[in-house]
Amino acid sequence: MSSTASGFRRRGLLAATAAGLFVPALLRAQPAWPDRPIRLIVPWPPGGSVDTVTRIFQPRLQEVLGKPVVIENRGGASGSIGAAEAARAAPNGDTWVVVYDTQATNESVMKLPFRTMEAFAPVSLIATGPLAMVAHQSTPYHSFEDVVAAAKQAPDTVNYATSGVGGLAHVSTTLLQQEGGFRMVHVPYKGAGPATQDAVAGHVPLFMTNLPAVAQHLKSGVLRPLGVTTRGESRHVPGTRSFAQQGFGDFEALTWWAMLGRAGTPAPIVERMHAALSQVLSEPAVRNKIEEQGADVVASSPAQCGSFLAAEIERWGAVIRKAGITADT
Q: What is the pTM for the complete model shown? A: 0.84
Q: Which CATH number fits domain 3-129+253-323: 3.40.190.150, 2.70.98.60, 3.30.930.10, 3.40.640.10?
A: 3.40.190.150
| Strands (DSSP E) found in the chain | 38-42, 69-73, 95-100, 120-136, 159-162, 185-188, 206-210, 223-228, 254-262, 296-297
Q: Which CATH number fits domain 131-246: 3.40.190.10, 3.50.50.60, 1.10.3720.10, 3.40.50.720?
A: 3.40.190.10
Report d(CA 273, CA 253) in Å as an integer: 28
DSSP state of 204: S
Q: Judge whether 3-129+253-323 and 131-246 match in fold.
A: yes
**Domain range list for the chain:** 3-129+253-323, 131-246
Please write the tens of the pLDDT for every residue from 165-195. 888 999 999 999 999 999 999 999 988 889 9
H/E element, 284: helix 284-292
Please write the tens of the pLDDT for every residue from 82-128. 999 999 999 999 999 999 999 999 989 999 999 999 999 999 999 99
The predicted structure's pLDDT at residue 60: 98
Please write the tens of the pLDDT for every residue from 135-176. 999 999 999 999 999 999 999 999 999 988 888 999 999 999
Residue type at position 234: S
